[in-house]
Amino acid sequence: MSAAIDMKPDASRELLRSPGLGQFRKTPFRLLRLPTTATAKQAVWQCDKALARARVGMSLPDPDPVPWLPPGDEIEIQEAAQTMESPLARIVEQLLWFDVIDDPDGGALHSALTNADGVALRAYVNLVREGAPMSHQLNQANLRLLMGFSALREVGPTIVAGQTAAQAAALAWTDRAGMSIVEDPHKAIRASGALLGNQSVWAWLLGEGVAKWGELLGSPAFAEHVKAKIAALGDELLGADDVEAVITALRTRLADLVVGETKIEMAQGRVGNVAHLSSLAGKSKIDAETWLVAFRPLKTQFQSELAELAPDAETGNGLVEDVAAYLDRVATLAARWRPLDEAQLLGLSALIDEAVGEAFGKLRGIPREKQLEQRFKEVIDKVGAVAHSPSIKERVKAYHERLADVQKAMCHYCGKRELEASSCASVSSQMETGREYFGNTTRIHYQVGARPVARCQRCATLHDFIRNVGSITFYTLAASIILFGLVHPPGWFKSISTGVGFVLVAFGVLAAYGAGFIGREIAAAKVTPKGEKKFGDYHTSTAVEGLRADGFVSMKYDFRSNAWELVNKHGVKARHGGGDGAEVLKTLFYIGLFVAAIALKVCARH
């Protein structure tokens, strides 16, 4: 025979694909109409008969216990027989089917099922039996699963019918963790005699079914029950030591059923149902590990949704803005996802964190000077806000701290580049700490303090330039005034005596000094980029703060390009006394010029 693939119409394919319904549709006990006590041999014989009948278009004479589900095809019938021949698989199927023999209400259940009698099924669901045998408890759980999956796929008898969704909402629904739950549907239904809307019905039934199963799987009484069933089967391939294997298989199967339905709902975009399903998983007593493994394949779908958020191309708004926009999108998605994964079984928060982590990585790659901008800090904060895990929030916090440290290590003037030790300016100060008197001489003790004003090389160069503008203005003006005083046309300034002339020239030099100063300020104003501190603005520096904190009052500021190096090399004193060689030479040169000029003038007189 061939294993040809049926091409069924769309709607029934969805029904056939439903793993939850498939459990009850394809179970050998239904397809082969077997009692739960059937032997493998009986199953094989029954299979031969079912196949022979199926091939000429006849079905088995016994009634279908779940008549609202599609019948099995040849392959499914064969698979069913084979399942019965493999003892472990068979026990699992058996426990997920209705044991109408040992359950005192089994007869009622059987006829309710074969007649698809919603009212009778509801009556069974509402039965409350104290100390009911395990088979009754299992039947209750299984019936809830069957009816829940049926309601989800909108097939089968409505066991709670005739109520609009609006009325249903009036029941004892509470909103817990973003999901609506009926606190005690039994009470609610009985009290109002009322019935629920479809969505609430399946969520309620499945929720209870899975919860009941979860409880059973953990109970010693159930383990005993499994043991008894294994013994009854009497297959040498399955023994009492396989109880755990059966329970594990059941646990995995239940998880797979729920996850399988979740996958369908997700593919159909029915997000609300996805949330319901994952949350009922979370509420069951089945361990997280089982669910995590079962839900794992779904993760890829979410992953691809997340991947779509990543920008394809740069927008031209700059990386920071791109990342900010990305984070906003991720935040929106995270908000949408949150109710889907309250129980954290889908691992969605880890996915979000991963995306956020990547964004964070991008941000860290941005050049330092950009990182110190306010906007950057805001975006970094966004990372912390969108992230789920405390460790990422910690990471953001730690990053802020480091940024603050870095800021301290940044150039005081521009605030954009890191300081460079060889380019720092310096402030220094002295403070009297005591005096000693030795007869006529007094020895005064000073404490000297100096600190670098953090500066980058560019600012140092800039400041050097500004200083040069000042000094060149001064020297050229001063030199020209002196020269002019000495060498002017003989007819000029006749009335002014030489002494007065000298005084005037001195004033001129003084004015040149002022001009130099003004020139410096003008240059500083012109060349210092907007938003940066000017060369003279050292009062707000950490260096001054530090010296003040140490008790120093008057500050001496040196903004030569290598001021701090000089301090380091020569000490604070040396700086005040000396200056570097070039400076001295320059000064000497101008003095020399001055002297030469006077000499010239005097010579000219005579």
- Residues forming contacts to other proteins in the complex (CB under 8 A) are 1-5, 7, 10, 13, 16-17, 40-41, 44-45, 48-49, 51-53, 55-58, 75, 78-79, 82, 85-86, 236-237, 242, 263-264, 267, 287-289, 292, 296-297, 300-301, 304, 347, 350, 353-354, 357, 389-391, 394-395, 397-399, 401-402
Residue 218 Cβ vs other proteins, minimum distance, rounded to whole Å: 16
- Cα distance between residue 67 and residue 110, in whole Å: 12
Cβ 5 to other proteins shortest distance, Å: 5
**Min CB(543)–other proteins separation in Å:** 20
Half-sphere exposure of 120 (CA within 13 A, CB side): 13
Residue 574: CB minimum distance to other proteins, A = 22
> Alpha helix locations (H) across 193-287?
198-218, 220-233, 243-267, 271-283
Which two three-digit tokens encode residue 420?
């460079």
Residue 2 CB, shortest distance to other proteins, in Å, is 6
Residue 221's closest CA among 297, 136, 303? 136
Nearer to other proteins, 421 or 444 (CB): 421
Helix, strand, coil distribution of the chain in percent, nearest 5:
65, 5, 30
CB of 276 to other proteins, least distance (A): 20
Secondary structure letter of residue 452 according to DSSP: E
Taking alpha carbons only, the member of 318, 258, 263 closest to residue 286 is 258
Nearer to other proteins, 57 or 490 (CB): 57
Name which of 75 and 593 has its Cβ closer to other proteins. Answer: 75
Nearer to other proteins, 79 or 464 (CB): 79
Contact between 475 and 519 (Cβ < 8 Å): no
Shortest distance, position 299 Cβ to other proteins, whole Å: 8
Least separation in angstroms between residue 470's CB and other proteins is 33
For other proteins, the closer of residues 389 and 476 by Cβ is 389
Question: Could you tell me the two tokens for 115?
Answer: 């007649």
φ/ψ of residue 176, rounded to 5: -115, 120
Least Å distance between CB 267 and other proteins?
6
Query: Closest distance between other proteins and the C-beta of residue 55, in Å?
Result: 4
The minimum distance between CB 210 and other proteins, in angstroms, equals 19
| Amino acid code (one letter) for 249 | A
CA atoms of 212 and 208, how far apart (whole Å): 6
Nearer of residues 205 and 246 to other proteins, judged by Cβ: 246
**Phi, psi (rounded to 5 degrees) for 37:** -95, 5
Cα→Cα distances 312→326, 383, 446, Å: 11, 20, 66
Contact 100, 27 (CB under 8 A): no
Task: Please name which of 218, 165, 132 lies closest in space to residue 124, comparing C-alpha atoms.
Answer: 132
Query: Residue 234's CB: how many other CB atoms inside 10 A?
Result: 9
Distances (CA, A) of 378 to 188, 321, 384, 490: 50, 11, 10, 73
| Nearest residue (CB) to other proteins, 268 versus 433 | 268
- Locate tokens 């912390």: which residue? 384
Return d(Cα 34, Cα 21) in angstroms, integer. 18
Q: Output 354 or 532, the one with its CB closest to other proteins.
A: 354
In this complex, which beta carbon is closest to other proteins, that of residue 33 or of residue 263?
A: 263
* E strand segments, 61-143: none
Cβ burial 109-129 (10 Å sphere, 16+ → b, else e): bbebbeebbbebbbebbeeee
Q: How far apart are the first and last CA of the chain?
A: 137
Least distance from other proteins to the Cβ atom of residue 103, Å: 30
Question: Of 313 and 603, which has the nearer Cβ to other proteins?
Answer: 313
Q: What is the DSSP letter of 72?
A: P
Q: Measured from the CB atom, is 104 or 297 closer to other proteins?
A: 297
Tokens 């929106």 label which residue? 332
> Which residues fall within 8 angstroms of residue 495, CB to CB, at 6 or more apart?
none
